[in-house]
Structures are given as structure tokens and as C-alpha cells.
């Protein structure tokens, strides 16, 4: 039996030498498709976890329209989702230029391939820069909030329900605050960095401004619940720490799991975009050097194009889950 199999393999040659089979795809394309499928399953698991967590804590989940309201050079202008939509358009447009690069490669037009690859790289870099800018604003925060002993987030609004920054009303109480760190030998564990205002300053400023109310993180009729003046004063008695922006521990916008998923999923996708930009740059220089012209094949451009389209498609789902739904 072993001899028969050996003879058959010898007479027929290799079972697959990386040619145009099976399914009419080269070895490189098949491996790229295998990677895309496995990576798609990974992203699917992440997004499914996000959806489950949001469904479980839907009453306290941040509202995206109130979180992503910034736009470059328009400080103080309420522009919900505008910049995220622009980022999405830029990334999708870079997918169009990649299609044009692949098509130019099929026609063996080196100059056009280089131009469209360059445009794709520029689009990817703009998207990465935009994502970094969005992270900065998300981490820095704009209004601030306080966290109670039970972990609830209390935000501040005016009589019309518009958010009010704690900087606008917090009192200035001279005091000496000590940062809790292990190095000072007093506390066994470190605490969050001290903010610009203490809880006492926020409470004193709140009492001095009767037109300010507290808005809880609980959502009712698609809006967060605004407390009366008496209820607001009562809830402030449980205030424990002033929260500014978001990190992996605290989140001024609402439930902290939102920030955890945001950093992890958008960061993971951003790493994919960064990897794609690096690969595109390498392919771009190979195009300029005439590497694929000598091979009489621009298949490498087509393979990296598959990856880039996948990255764009994943962002469409991330955009839908985080920002639209």
C-alpha cells in the first residue's frame, strides 16, 4: 500500500505546488482568506461580548451621541457623530483607492498602482490620526462628574438639561490633598490621580448654584434621569471621587465597561489599520522599484488589498455597534 501511494505521488508530481488550484486561487490568496476568516471570528467574539454587556447594563450605558461630540477646530460646538462619520468615510474611500490600485495592477500600469497605493496609505494615516485624536478627547473628558460610594456616576446639568462642566461652578477651597501612593508608606495601594477639584469643592459649588441639577446615568425614555434639587443634594452626600474623562477603571460618561470595550475593540482595530498601513508602504516601495513589474504580476497588491478591505468592513461593524445602535 505504501509503495503504491509513493508511486502515484511520484508520477503525478506534487499534489499542489502553489499554482492556481484549488478553487482557482493561488497559495498566497488562500492563506490570506484563511487569515481573514479567523480574524473575522475574533472580531465577532469581541462585538458579541460588547452586545451582551450592553444588553445587560442597558439602563446605565452611555449614549454615543453625548460622548462623541467633538470636531477638530470647533471647540464648544456640539457636533455629535460628525467626526466619526468623517473618519468612516475616509477609511471607506481608501478602500476605493485600493480597488483602483488592484485594477491598475491587472492592467500592468505601474504609475497608477503607485498613485492609488499612496492615496490608500494617506487615507489610512488620516484615520489613525483621527482615532488618536478621538481617544485623547475621550480620555481627557470635557465636563467631569462625580462617582458615589456605590459606583454610580452623577453628571451636572442646568435647568434646560444641558451638561455643565464642574469647572464652571466648583468652589475654590484652600486645602492640602495628598496623593495615595505606595511610595509614601501610608497606603497599601495607589489611588487614581487627584483631579483639579475635590469632592468638597464640587459640593460647595453645587450648593452655591441653585440652577444646577444632577443627572444620573440611568436612562428612561432614551434620556438620562434628571433629579430635582432636593434629590440632587441628597445624592451628593454619597459622592466619593471626582471623575474626569475615562480610563479602564472609571468613566465619567456612564458604565465603565463601555470604556473598557471602547479602548480594547477600537484599539485592536486600530492596530490592524496600522499593520495594513505598514504593509502598504512596503508594497508601495516595491512598486516604485519595479519588483512586480519584473515578475509580470501585481498579485501582492491584490493580496494586501483583501486585507485592507477586511479592515474597512470590520470598521463598518464597529461603527455600527459603538456609535449607531
With cell 471607506, the residue in question is: 92
Whole domain around residue 207: which residue ranges? Answer: 143-173+195-244
Judge if 208 and 277 occupy the same domain.
no
Considering only 75-84, 199-208, 290-299, which range has the smallest mean pLDDT? Answer: 75-84
User: Does a structural domain hold residue 63?
Assistant: yes
Sheet of strand 153-157, all strands in order from the earlier edge strand to the far edge: 223-226, 213-220, 153-157, 145-148, 239-243
Average pLDDT in the 9-15 region?
A: 45
* CA–CA dist 226, 157 (Å, integer): 8
Q: What is the pLDDT of residue 3?
A: 45
Band of the pLDDT at 150, cuts 50, 70, 90? confident
Q: What is the pLDDT of residue 310?
A: 96
Judge if 33 and 116 occupy the same domain.
yes
- pTM for this entry: 0.83
Judge if 164 and 116 occupy the same domain.
no
With cell 502553489, the residue in question is: 18
Judge if 118 and 150 occupy the same domain.
no
Amino acid at each position: 500500500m505504501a509503495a503504491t501511494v509513493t508511486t502515484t505521488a511520484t508520477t503525478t508530481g506534487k499534489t499542489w505546488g502553489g499554482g492556481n488550484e484549488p478553487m482557482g486561487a493561488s497559495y498566497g490568496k488562500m492563506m490570506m482568506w484563511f487569515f481573514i476568516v479567523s480574524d473575522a471570528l475574533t472580531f465577532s467574539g469581541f462585538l458579541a461580548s460588547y452586545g451582551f454587556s450592553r444588553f445587560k447594563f442597558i439602563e446605565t450605558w452611555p449614549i454615543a451621541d453625548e460622548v462623541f461630540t467633538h470636531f477638530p477646530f470647533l471647540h464648544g460646538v456640539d457636533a455629535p457623530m460628525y467626526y466619526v462619520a468623517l473618519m468612516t468615510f475616509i477609511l471607506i474611500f481608501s478602500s476605493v483607492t485600493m480597488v483602483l490600485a488592484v485594477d491598475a495592477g491587472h492592467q500592468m500600469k505601474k504609475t497608477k498602482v503607485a498613485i492609488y497605493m499612496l492615496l490608500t496609505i494617506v487615507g489610512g494615516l488620516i484615520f489613525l490620526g483621527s482615532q488618536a485624536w478621538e481617544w485623547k478627547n475621550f480620555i481627557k473628558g470635557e465636563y467631569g462628574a462625580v462617582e458615589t460610594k456605590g459606583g454610580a456616576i452623577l453628571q451636572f446639568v442646568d435647568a434646560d438639561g444641558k451638561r455643565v462642566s464642574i469647572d464652571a461652578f466648583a468652589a475654590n477651597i484652600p486645602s492640602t490633598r495628598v496623593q495615595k501612593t505606595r511610595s509614601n508608606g501610608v497606603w497599601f495601594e495607589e489611588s487614581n490621580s487627584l483631579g483639579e477639584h475635590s469632592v468638597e469643592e464640587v459640593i460647595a459649588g453645587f450648593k452655591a448654584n441653585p440652577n444646577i441639577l444632577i443627572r444620573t446615568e440611568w436612562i428612561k425614555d432614551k434620556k438620562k434621569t434628571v433629579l430635582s434639587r432636593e434629590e440632587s443634594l441628597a445624592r451628593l452626600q454619597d459622592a466619593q471621587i471626582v471623575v474626569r474623562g475615562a480610563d479602564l477603571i472609571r468613566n465619567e460618561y456612564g458604565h465603565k465597561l463601555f470604556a473598557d470595550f471602547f479602548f480594547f475593540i477600537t484599539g485592536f482595530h486600530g492596530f490592524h489599520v496600522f499593520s495594513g498601513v505598514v504593509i502598504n508602504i512596503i508594497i508601495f516601495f516595491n512598486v516604485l522599484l519595479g519588483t512586480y513589474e519584473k515578475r509580470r504580476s501585481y498579485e501582492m497588491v491584490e493580496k494586501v488589498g483583501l486585507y485592507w478591505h477586511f479592515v474597512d468592513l470590520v470598521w463598518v461593524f464597529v461603527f455600527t455597534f459603538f456609535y449607531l445602535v
